[in-house]
Chain A
Amino acid sequence: MAKKKHTDYVDLKDQPIPEGQHLLEVDNLKMFFHTEDGVVKAVNGVSYTLDRGETLGVVGESGSGKSVTHMTIMGLIDMPPGKIEEGDIRYRGKSLLEMTEQEMQHVRGNDIAMIFQDPMTSLNPVYKVGRQVGEGLRLHRGYSKQEALERATELLRLVGIPSPEKRVNEYPHQFSGGMRQRVMIAMALACDPDILIADEPTTALDVTIQAQIIELMKEMQQKNGNAIIMITHDLGVVADMADKIMVMYAGRPVEFGTADEIFYESRHPYTWGLIRSIPEQAIDEKKPLTPIHGNPPSLVNLPKGCPFAPRCPYAVDICHEQEPEHITTETGHYSACHFADDPEFLKFAPDTSRSRGKIATGMPDTLETSEAAPKADGAKKTGGEA
Chain B
Amino acid sequence: MGKYILKRVLQFIPVFIGVTIILFAMKAIVPGDPISMITGGRSVPEQTRLQLEVQNNMIYGDENGQPIYDENGETIPVPIWEQYIRYMDDLLHGDLGTSYSKKRPVTDIFAEKYPYTIKLALCAICLEAIMGIGAGLISAVKRYSFWDVLVTLVTSVLVAVPAFWLGMILQLIFGIWLKDLTGGAFSMPISGAGGPNSPYQDWLHYVLPAFTLASVSTAYTARIMRSQLLDVLNQDYIRTAKAKGLSRRSVIVHHALKNALIPVVTYIGIDFGAMMAGAILTETVFNWPGVGYEIYRAISARDWPLVMGGVTIIVVVVMVINLVVDISYAFLDPRIRLGSSKNKE
- List residues of A whose CB falls within 8 A of some B CB: 74, 76, 101-102, 105-110, 113-114, 116, 118, 121-127, 135-136, 139-140, 170-171, 173-177, 184, 187-188, 386
Contact = CB atoms under 8 A, between A and B. Distances in A.
Most chain-B CB neighbours within 10 Å: which of A102, A105, A113, A175? A105
A106 B247 CA distance: 10
Given A135-B246, A139-B244, A171 B239 contact: no
**Can you list the 3 inter-chain pairs with the closest CB atoms, starting with the nearest?**
A109-B245, A108-B245, A109-B244
B334 A125 contact: yes
A101 B335 CA distance: 34
Given A125-B334, A125-B335, A171-B338, A105 B245 contact: yes
Given A101-B247, A126-B334, A171-B335, 19 more contacts: A76-B239, A102-B247, A108-B245, A109-B246, A113-B243, A116-B243, A122-B240, A124-B237, A124-B259, A125-B237, A126-B259, A135-B246, A170-B342, A173-B335, A174-B343, A176-B344, A176-B345, A187-B244, A386-B344
Given A126-B259, A139-B244, A118 B237 contact: no
Interface of B: 235-237, 239-247, 255, 258-259, 262, 332-335, 338, 340, 342-345
Contacts of B332: 126
Most chain-A CB neighbours within 10 Å: which of B235, B236, B344? B236
B243 A108 contact: yes
Given A126-B259, A175-B343, A176-B343, A121 B235 contact: yes
B240 A123 contact: yes
Nearest to B337: A171
A124 B241 contact: yes
Contacts of B344: 176, 386
Contacts of B239: 76, 116, 122
A108 B340 CA distance: 32
A325 B68 CA distance: 110
B343 A123 contact: no
Nearest to A135: B244
Nearest to B335: A173
A177 B255 CA distance: 21
Contact of B258 (A113, A126, A170, A187): A126
B7 to A, nearest CB: 22
Nearest to A128: B334
A136 B340 contact: no
Contacts of A110: 245
Given A121-B235, A171-B338, A126 B333 contact: yes
Contact of A173 (B245, B259, B334): B334
Contacts of A108: 242-245
Given A124-B259, A171-B335, A74 B342 contact: no
B240 A124 contact: yes
Contact of B246 (A105, A121, A174, A177): A105
Contacts of A140: 245
Tell me what chain B mostly uses at the interface: helix, strand, loop, or mixed.
helix
Contacts of B345: 176-177
Most chain-A CB neighbours within 10 Å: which of B255, B258, B259, B334? B334
A102 B235 CA distance: 23
Given A122-B237, A176-B344, A139 B245 contact: yes
Contacts of B246: 105, 109, 135, 139
A212 B323 CA distance: 45
Contacts of B259: 124-126
Most chain-B CB neighbours within 10 Å: which of A108, A126, A139? A126
A136 B244 CA distance: 6
B32 to A, nearest CB: 55
Contact of B334 (A114, A171, A177, A188): A171
Contacts of A174: 338, 340, 342-343
A123 to B, nearest CB: 6
15 contacts: A76-B242, A101-B247, A107-B245, A116-B243, A123-B237, A123-B240, A125-B237, A126-B259, A135-B241, A139-B246, A171-B334, A173-B343, A174-B340, A174-B342, A175-B343
Contact of A118 (B236, B258, B340): B236
Contacts of A139: 244-246
B333 A125 contact: yes
Contacts of B247: 101-102, 105
A116 B340 CA distance: 23
B251 to A, nearest CB: 10
A123 B236 CA distance: 8
B42 to A, nearest CB: 65
B129 to A, nearest CB: 19
A140 B250 CA distance: 14
B226 to A, nearest CB: 18
Contacts of B235: 121
A139 B236 CA distance: 20
B245 A136 contact: yes
Contacts of A122: 236-237, 239-240
Contacts of A107: 245
Nearest to A107: B245
Contacts of A175: 343
A122 B255 CA distance: 12
Nearest to A197: B243
Contacts of B343: 173-176
Most chain-B CB neighbours within 10 Å: which of A116, A125, A175? A125
Contacts of B240: 116, 122-124, 184, 187
